Structure 1
Amino acid sequence: MRSGEARLAIDWGSASTSAVLAWPDGTWSPLTFGAESALSSAVFLSEDGGVITGQPAWQAAAGCPERFIPAPRRSIEQREALPGGEVDAVDLVAATLRQVAEQAGAVAGGEIEDVRLVVPAGWGPRRRTWLRHAAHRAGLPQPRLVEAPVAVATRMLASGVHLPVGSYVVVCDVGGGAEVSVLRRGPAGFEVLATLSDASAGGSAVDDALIGALIGGEPNAPIPDGTASNGTQWVLLASVRAAKHALGEHPAVTVPLPDGPAVVVNGTVLEQAARPVAQRVAQLAVEAVAAAEVDAAEVSGLYVVGGMAGMPAVAEALAECVGVTPVVLADPAMAAVCGAADAGAASVGAGVEMAESPVPPVPPVRRAVAIAVPGFASLALVAQFLLTAQWNGWYVHRWALLNWGELAMAAVFALVAALGAGTVIASALAARPGQAPMSAGGQVGTGILASMSLGVAVAGLYAVVGSVYIGQEVGSFLRWALMPIAPVVVVAAVMAVIAARQWRQPVGGWSQVLAFPTGSVVCAAAGMALIQYSLTADRWPDLVLWIDAAGRVGGLLLGIGVVMAVVSTPLLRLILAAPLGVISAAIVSQAASGILGVIYATAVAVWWTRQVWARVIRPARQPVQHTVTTTVAACRGGG
């Protein structure tokens, strides 16, 4: 391999150390240590003066706990008092960095000249010099120090996140401890405006709380005397950390206790242990934004990285206290080290491996329902439209009397269903094997364009099938299928451009923007189906009253569907539904069926236009500012 051209980035954390090798063409790979993707930062000082690192250090701790140091970063610039004398903390860190350097040299096939070390933004010159000495003692060349939040922001740019010059971002790094930084992107790069840290607001505090819950029956209960002296503390801590990571994939895990029976730990216990830590992280974020003298409404994004980033309690606390929806980056534990290595920063060629771009999440079950309901409604209406045609004339001069409004609504529902699947299509595009990855905005924009094209194609297909089935010219079918959806198509094209250019990121994500209200679809589809039934059913004398009543109910439901699409406030819906429903019911007739379909198509276009304006182009700021004002006081008061 090209060892002389490789870049080695190392993130030496309080709990674990991760590293990445990158090359000028954009290819990169994380370093692995045995079966682990990260090397434990813990060390063990053997009796002969040697330093054991990584997982073997944890194994040795059970036999001689007084020689074990689980987090050397907490004692930097000091000398550790161990049996047989004192040891310089630089030597402990150098041992870990030396193992990383040896593994990197084995992978790269030689020595590496370009080394970057990730450091907290709050470290001053003395600590940074101390870390350089440790790297020199480990045999590494003079390293370049990269501040962790700057590395994370660099990683976001490389992944396609749009951060325009002048924008403000908040980076919450929650690992063994917590560091929250506010950055501004300037013409020459990112500038750290404020940074706050707390070593007790991270995974280590959660571990202590879990140990207290297992031994004492409640979080943060004191550990019995003598536990540390016999090595039980470190065995238990290793078990708790393994259980904490396993709970990310399993609802409950069993934790073996050294001096007692095994205990089952579930997500509720973990959430209780993590909640105070998450609240402290949120408080740090609020204080950092205030220290940077930045209004929360001006923050372009709040990004969470580190080993605890995936815990729901952290995201919930940040959203509540800061008033900005947090975004957890893909592979949050590697975000800083990948940014420091400039992983993926190169011109993309064929067959070049690139850093993974954040993929828009596949919508949940309710989003699938929101896609399926208008889809089935569209098929039902077009089927009724074709099968209930009223034929007039004789043989050669036969012609069909059709409900053009029903065809228009079928086309509208087809487009609504397709656009609802826009983020699903975007996720599918991101998962294409062997294809160069797109940015997150490019994925969403392409997904919206693809879904819009699919909806238009289905509407056109309805027109062609209807023309062939009925045996009339296709012109009328195309007009009623395509013209009612034209305004929505224009709005969808605007959304696709905004998403691709990443000019705006809607609150709640694009999935929420594309989700049309299901209640409106159900009411309008049922209403039009009842109207068509009343217009085409055989009017037997004993059924005339019921058939007419079905038509009036259909008009009422269609009017309610229009109100549900145009108005979002529940009170206004109640006020407007009655008069508009009565008017729609009163004008139900063969001549007015087309008008009713066009009215609903117009309502759908109004809904999409309002979505783009209110959620994307001009999102409301007042509620966010109010939330910040009220919750900041609560967070500070509960400190």
Structure 2
Amino acid sequence: MVNGDARLSIDLSSSAIAATVSRQGTRVPILIDGRLVIPPGVAIAPAGDLYVGVDAAATRSLPADHRFVNHPADHLASPAQAPDPAQPNPVDVLAAVLRHVSNHATHQVGQPITDLTVTIPPAWGPRRRAHLSKAAARAGLPPPALVTAPAALAAYTTTLGLTTPENACVLVCQADHHPPTLTVLQTVSDGYRELATQQLHGPHDLDDLIAGHVVATATADHDPLQALVDHTDTITAEEHGLLLESIRTARHQLVQQERAPVMLPTPHHPVVITRDDITTATQPLLDQVPDAVAHLLDAADVDTEHLAAVIVRPAPGVLALTDRLAAATRDTPTIVDHSHALADGALTLTTHQTGPRAAAAQLPRVRLRISDLTGALLIGACSLTLLLQAVLTADITTLFTRVVEARISLPQLGTAGALAMLTALAVAHLAPTTWLAGTPTTPTPEPTTGSLIRRGYLTAAVGGTITAALYGLATGTAVELDYTPYLKWTLGTALPLALCATLIAATAPRIPADALPTWLAMTRPAITHTVTATAGIFLMRAALTITTPVDLTGMPGLVGSCGAALLGTATALTATRTRLARTITAPGLAIGYALVFTYNTNSALITGYLIALTCWGIRLTSNTLQLAFPSVRSALHRLTGHSDG
């Protein structure tokens, strides 16, 4: 899985919740609890546990002490001040929904969410928008970009080939969520501008209207609304819920067929309804359409001739609504009935709004503290520990006080040089977000994040290389022999990481500013892996050292095997990225390293870790290049026929 931006889009404006993730230009519909869409309802247990994705029809099977919130987003209209203690906080309930969806998205794409887009009803004002932002923050998500449902629908139609010139107008009808809403949009350079919006109000939603008609037909009552009132007064809430569930099922069936059954409460027998029955039942809504369209166009100050398109997200089974809109606007509507249309359309709008890159952006910065340097200090201590152990435990042969031979672990020296470079990278990682001292008092403007990354990683490349070279020279001086073989190992292991640091310094300033947090998390050296590898190498070397007693139990082989197991674990953790791969490879390498550890194999085991560390640097550089040049990466994937998944 390649790292990069993961933009999550959640549709909260429809009758069901849908989510899509855009990652490096690829759209991934998110399966939530194994479903493409989930009901918006939330069940709340007495202890405060929240259960997301509960359908209203399922509430009859909930325990009596559980509460049910049908659509948390609809409850954000209540003021946040002095909330009713007897009712759940709508912000907390919506936060649970957002958290639930984002957890599934994170698990499915294998990386954290870096951007959030939420589709909302057009009538939402500053209060509900602020409540939604609070809910996203409580869910641990980035601040959301809010897109109204009509704009998202209009943007989705552009992917279907429907194009509207700039300054043209579009009428959008969203009828799948009560109450149906009509909106006029004007196409502008950066998206859409809302000119007017109007809701089709009624005393009951569509399911209730159809239920009233069915009851009136079954009881020979010619007044559907009175029949509905009488019906709801004479049946239980559970029976009414079953009737509405049966109505919803029949409506979806009528999209594909001419007739559908509806189950009525006892003692009535089931009835069969047709599309004409749906049209008759929804007549109070349909009768509003001509006047609503006329008033809407007047409010937007446009005529029907100014409408470049009419877009409809239909209500299941209510086919006559599209015909009424076509008659009122004198234009054939474009029907959008895809479950992820609004989530995808919102992504189309937000991903086209490119932000600044690191070269022109500035991340918030704080004063550098000792705690910030803990990671770099630990890695530096590991590097010095391996260097000193290699030098102090060298088996030196002398002839007449002259050193003629020194047996020293060259791979261990190479590891010390590589960790010196890794220390420099750990310090460079802090450069974009910390000050060396307090806030500057000079009038010189603060350098950009891209400039800090460039300076930090170039300095790391140079400083780490110099330190590795000094390690080789110091080793030759300490054993009083030619330093050439030692210099080859310390520099040879550090230079690949130095080259990676140089490439990062050259390309990282091109990373989009909104992707910098993800990149910074990706470039942080893993301290635990480094300390584990150092401990393993230290124990292996100690077990092989002739002059140093390392185990009071008289079992130096056990100490060395434990060290080899630690080194194998560190090698697996450094070479792999996913949790599954680490779970499989870490125990295997730990056991394998422990079994094969001998005096003759310890150098090969250390070399394996050095290869894994070099691969980590190459992978980091590759991911940086992909973030900095996404178009090149997308082109390569198109040529090879691969996708991000």
**TM-score (structure 2 length as normaliser):** 0.48
Q: Which has the larger radius of gyration?
A: 2
**TM-score (structure 1 length as normaliser):** 0.48
